[in-house]
Structure 1
Amino acid sequence: MADIEPNFPDTDQATSKADARKAARKRGFLIFAGVVALVAAGVGIYEWIEGGRYVETDNAYVAAEVAQVTPLVAGPVRRVAVNNTQVVRKGDVLVELDPTDAKIALAAAEADYADALRKVRQTIATGTALSAQVGEKQADIARMTAQVQVAMADVQRAEIDLKRRQSLVGDGAVSGEELTTARNAYASAQGQLAAARANLAAAQAARGTANGQEAANAALVTGTTPETNPQVLAAKARLDQARINLDRTVIRAPVSGVVTQRTVQVGQSVAVGSPMMTIVPISQAYVDANYKESQLAHVRPGQPVTLTSDLYGDDVVYHGRVVGFSGGTGSALAVIPAQNATGNWIKVVQRLPVRVALDPHELGAHPLRIGLSMDATIDTRPEKDRSQTGQN
């Protein structure tokens, strides 16, 4: 009986299917490896082309030059017109102080100014009167001079008459009584001359006094008008200050922004310079991006920056420009700087704040608040390359 070989069709078919699956799996792995290789090559090419052209950081925060509101005059608070989170515009009334004391001070300054004007006008009028007195004293001197001349003539005439009579006494032509009369007349003329000279000296002294008074008075008003006199100007300055102090009892917003940190209350007595509230000008916000020192080799002022905020997510992209760099790293400018002059020093990569100015229109559409986190990416490519790609 011949041997019959057994036939196992099911076994051969299973083996074929297993081989096919292995082949398919191998092709799949090859395709996957090819895709991975292509992706890696693409990433490598991208990094080779674009690597170093963009520097990014998520260590960036919104900041702004906040305005602290403080009173410039002291007084009790009469009204507070705003609350925290309220949006105000520049010039809006924030706080009103009691103006009673300021109004009284203004009234006193107005009275002092009017009194100064009155005194200056009086001084000018006194100058006119003193000038008239000087003219009068000059006339007195002229009159006294004439009287001296008349008295000198009388002395000369009495002296001649006395000498003539004395020469006739020996001849008996003149009696003793006549001689005595002549002597008395001569003595009287000398006395009148002395009195006239004394009156002339007094008149000259009076003129000197009048001249001095006129000069002293003129020194107060010469070269000025009542409005430009120094005393009037000083009173006017005090009046202007009183008006300013009254105006300062109404405290207005120095900038447009959002009210924060309001501490003032109605009835509180505030001193000059005491903090009352802070206004954050959110329309003027900027970003301080803290880059590692190793990232800043190609960063320059003016380069474009794209930013996103955790507040709005990646759907809102802000555009800005590099303004400049801080004068020192964060650790160097800390309240207590790190002391590295020790034997246990370990090098730590430092971060330098980079100031980024934001587009005001984008800020208006999507307002930010100070302290919010930002992601910032700086395009460090040359300007001509950015122009060619339309990204300048």
Structure 2
Amino acid sequence: MLKSLRSPATLLALLVALCGALLVLYAWKLPPFHSSVETTENAYVKGQVTIISPQLAGYVKTVAVQDYQLVKAGDLIVQIDDRIYDQKVQQAQALLAGQKANLANADQSVRSGQAKIGSSEAQIASAQAALRTAEATDERISALLEKHISSQATADQATQALDQARAGLRQAQAALEVSRQDLQSIVVNRQSLEAAVQSAEATVQLAEIDLQNTRVLAPQDGRLGEIGVRLGQYVSAGTQLASLVPARKWVIANFKETQLYGMKLGQPVSFTVDALRHQTLTGHIQEFSPATGSEFSVLKADNATGNFTKIAQRLPVRIAIDDNQPLAAQLAPGMSVVVKIDTAAAAESVPALR
């Protein structure tokens, strides 16, 4: 038995079996080959790809850019025919001018109403003076009549004049109340005219905004994708004109849940980029997703019925790319990368997401 174990063929077979077992342990990262470095190929470069669309409809008058062009914030991308919108601005301005004229006329009516009130007050003062005169005359004639110095006809005339004076006073007071009510009506109508002026001003502003929106501008610095609009094309609100990719990029690495233990915010990360012949760049963990990728899918798996097979889920990890790396400028959203994270490395402070 011992002699058979010492034979070269047996030793060779044992050696091959041992190497095979070691290779399996190494491939599956099992002891004694378990490492603190976690790796995933399920990782991609991401960026804020912005779809540029108009807010109104019209025919394209100018296409000022080309495919993949670098643009600055505020650069013209597309000009929509603005003749109709320019006329709408002029129409709104004319309506505003008319409403302002009506308001100015109301101001003049207020001043006229105030003058009528002054005239009515003067008429009341005149009526009050006439009433005092008539009362004095009536008292004097009545005293003379009692002494048989004046005739009854004269007394009747004095009484009639007193009644007329009292009626004149009431008429003047009523005229004053009418003037006050007229002024109040003018004031109330003026408030309506003020609201009409404000509405006309808002209409002008909306028309000016529409006129400005005929110029579709770049919202920020970046590089354009393919231009999907052509000269003379009719576009409506929401039509996709172009895509804008800003310079800021990051990496999303989808690690299995079994790989997450030991990962912390701020830990250094290294990753290789397939498009750059696997050259290495560095970054750090910036944020963990609040849920696994399966929870964000439209069609979720139902594990409550039938047979169940456990599948390790993946959690997206956002990785910020370190500054001052020349190769980082060559990264484009969608590129495949291979990410490595040493879970034993110390974490650094991480700036807040913007």
Scaled by the length of structure 1, what TM-score is found?
0.74
> Are 1:332 and 2:295 an aligned pair?
yes
Structure 1 counterpart of 2:319: 356
Secondary structure of the residue aligned to 1:383 is coil
Structure 1 counterpart of 2:153: 184
Q: 1-side partners of 2:231 and 2:163: how far apart?
A: 86
Amino acid at match of 1:301: L
Q: 2-side partners of 1:133 and 1:364: how far apart?
A: 84
Structure 1 counterpart of 2:265: 301
Amino acid at match of 1:266: L
Structure 1 counterpart of 2:101: 118
Q: 1-side partners of 2:310 and 2:31: how far apart?
A: 29
Per-residue Cα deviation, 1:80-119 (whole angstroms, up to 9, x for no partner) = 2223333322221111111111111111222233333333
Q: 2-side partners of 1:162 and 1:60: how far apart?
A: 123
Aligned length in residues: 327
Per-residue Cα deviation, 1:172-203 (whole angstroms, up to 9, x for no partner) = xxxxxxx9xx3333222222222221221111
Per-residue Cα deviation, 1:128-152 (whole angstroms, up to 9, x for no partner) = 3322222221111010011112122
Of 73, 84, 87, which aligns to 1:104?
87
Q: 2-side partners of 1:221 and 1:317: how far apart?
A: 74
Q: 1-side partners of 2:215 and 2:327: how far apart?
A: 29
Larger gyration radius, structure 1 or structure 2: 1
Structure 1 counterpart of 2:133: 150
Structure 2 counterpart of 1:266: 231
Q: 2-side partners of 1:202 and 1:264: how far apart?
A: 77
Structure 2 counterpart of 1:8: none
Structure 2 counterpart of 1:322: 285
Per-residue Cα deviation, 1:273-321 (whole angstroms, up to 9, x for no partner) = 333222122x11211111111100111121111111111013x322112
Q: 2-side partners of 1:48 and 1:272: how far apart?
A: 61
User: Percent identity among equivalent residues?
Assistant: 31
Structure 2 counterpart of 1:128: 111
Amino acid at match of 2:325: E
Amino acid at match of 1:98: D
Which ranges of structure 2 fall in alignment gaps of 5 or more residues? 1-11, 349-354
1:291/1:351 contact within 8 Å kept:
yes
> Are 1:77 and 2:60 an aligned pair?
yes
Of 333, 340, 350, which aligns to 1:370?
333
Structure 1 counterpart of 2:9: none
Q: 1-side partners of 2:285 and 2:52: how far apart?
A: 30
* 1:242-261 pair list within 5 angstroms: 242-260=207-225
Structure 2 counterpart of 1:208: 177
Query: Alpha-carbon deviation of 1:221?
Result: 7.0
Amino acid at match of 1:302: G
CA separation of 1:313 and 1:258: change in aligned 2, threshold 3 A: same
Amino acid at match of 1:77: V
Secondary structure of the residue aligned to 1:287 is strand
CA separation of 1:193 and 1:47: change in aligned 2, threshold 3 A: same
Amino acid at match of 1:349: A
Q: 2-side partners of 1:61 and 1:230: how far apart?
A: 56
Q: 2-side partners of 1:380 and 1:49: how far apart?
A: 17
Q: 1-side partners of 2:114 and 2:344: how far apart?
A: 86
Per-residue Cα deviation, 1:245-272 (whole angstroms, up to 9, x for no partner) = 1111100111222323533232232222
Q: 1-side partners of 2:158 and 2:326: how far apart?
A: 109
1:67/1:255 contact within 8 Å kept:
no
Worse-superposed segment, 374-383 or 357-366: 357-366
Secondary structure of the residue aligned to 1:377 is strand
1:73/1:271 contact within 8 Å kept:
yes
1:332/1:338 contact within 8 Å kept:
no
CA separation of 1:77 and 1:301: change in aligned 2, threshold 3 A: same
Worse-superposed segment, 138-147 or 328-337: 328-337
2:268/2:345 contact within 8 Å kept:
no
Query: Alpha-carbon deviation of 1:231?
Result: 4.4
Amino acid at match of 1:286: W
Q: 2-side partners of 1:345 and 1:303: how far apart?
A: 35
Secondary structure of the residue aligned to 1:311 is helix
Structure 2 counterpart of 1:383: 346
Amino acid at match of 1:209: V
Q: 2-side partners of 1:257 and 1:107: how far apart?
A: 36
Q: 2-side partners of 1:190 and 1:296: how far apart?
A: 113
2:45/2:333 contact within 8 Å kept:
yes
Amino acid at match of 1:59: N
Q: 2-side partners of 1:188 and 1:341: how far apart?
A: 112
Structure 1 counterpart of 2:8: none
* 1:217-256 pair list within 5 angstroms: 217-218=186-187, 230-256=195-221
CA separation of 1:105 and 1:364: change in aligned 2, threshold 3 A: farther
Worse-superposed segment, 47-56 or 255-264: 47-56
Query: Alpha-carbon deviation of 1:47?
Result: 9.6
Worse-superposed segment, 247-256 or 83-92: 83-92
Which ranges of structure 1 fall in alignment gaps of 5 or more residues? 1-28, 169-178, 387-392
CA separation of 1:336 and 1:365: change in aligned 2, threshold 3 A: closer
CA separation of 1:383 and 1:202: change in aligned 2, threshold 3 A: same
